[in-house]
């Protein structure tokens, strides 16, 4: 397989159209933009055959011990941010905040709105809690990484990689 750097946005479609790639890795924003423009693509959700936990925050063990209060505060603020994002009444404020840092991202208001709505849906776990940690999913993911050779260590327990300690404090 020949790897081609296409980027992660709608420009990747041109590589596909020219036959330079058979597929590309994308993200929710691009998928939303393609759908808005009526561009039909087939999306392969890797979770269907290799489930992995969602977004994660990584912290060195030393920092976790020394900065536990700051980590807990960050997680609490993150939860509040996601709760703010999911409330349709806050859409204008969300778009304004995004626009303050990236005007291009909100220049197409319809697309920006679709992206915010899709992001809120994508980020909310089935439990409803943005900070939910699915330990069974982590155990499965660690096992899959070990079987595939991504993770060489086969002895360390999943607790060495993930903790609910900080979420439990909120």
- Is residue 100 predicted with pLDDT exceeding 70? yes
Q: Is the model's pLDDT at 1 over the cut of 70?
A: no
Mean pLDDT in residue range 137-150 = 90
CA distances 162 to 61, 136, 170, Å, are 11, 11, 17
Over range 158-164, report the average pLDDT.
88
Rounded Cα gap, residues 47 and 24, in angstroms? 16
Please tell me the distance from the alpha carbon of residue 55 to that of residue 52, in angstroms, as a whole number: 9
Segments making up each domain of the chain, as ranges:
12-44, 61-168
For residue 131, pLDDT beyond 80:
yes
Say if CB 37 and CB 30 are below 8 A apart.
Answer: no
What pTM was estimated for this model as a whole?
A: 0.74
C-alpha 106/C-alpha 100 separation (Å) is 9
In 82-119, which positions are buried (b, 16+ CB within 10 angstroms) versus exposed (e)? Answer: beebbeeeebeebbeeeeeeeeeebeeeebbbbbbeeb
Query: In the chain, what percentage of residues exceed pLDDT 70?
Result: 99
Q: What is the residue-averaged pLDDT of the chain?
A: 87
Q: How many CB atoms lie within 10 A of CB 169?
A: 13
Q: What is the pLDDT of residues 33-78, one digit of tens each?
A: 888 888 888 888 888 888 778 778 889 989 999 999 999 999 999 9
User: What pLDDT shows up at residue 24?
Assistant: 84
> pLDDT of 105-114, one tens digit each?
899 999 899 9
The C-alpha atoms of residue 10 and residue 17 are separated, in whole angstroms, by: 12
| The two three-digit tokens of residue 56, written as one number | 């994660």
């Amino acid at each position: 397989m020949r790897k081609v750097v296409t980027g992660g946005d709608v420009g990747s479609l041109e590589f596909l159209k020219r036959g330079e790639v058979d597929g590309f890795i994308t993200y929710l924003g691009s998928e939303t933009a393609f759908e808005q423009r009526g561009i039909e693509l087939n999306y392969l959700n890797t979770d269907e055959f290799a489930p992995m936990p969602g977004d994660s925050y990584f912290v060195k063990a030393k920092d976790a011990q020394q900065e536990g209060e700051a980590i807990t505060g960050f997680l609490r603020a993150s939860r509040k941010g996601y709760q703010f994002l999911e409330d349709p009444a806050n859409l204008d404020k969300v778009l304004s905040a995004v626009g303050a840092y990236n005007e291009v991202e909100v220049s197409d208001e319809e697309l920006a709105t679709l992206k915010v709505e899709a992001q809120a849906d994508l980020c909310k776990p089935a439990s409803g809690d943005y900070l939910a940690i699915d330990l069974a999913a982590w155990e499965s993911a660690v096992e899959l990484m070990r079987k595939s050779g991504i993770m060489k260590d086969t002895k360390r327990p999943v607790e060495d990689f993930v903790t609910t300690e900080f979420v439990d404090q909120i």
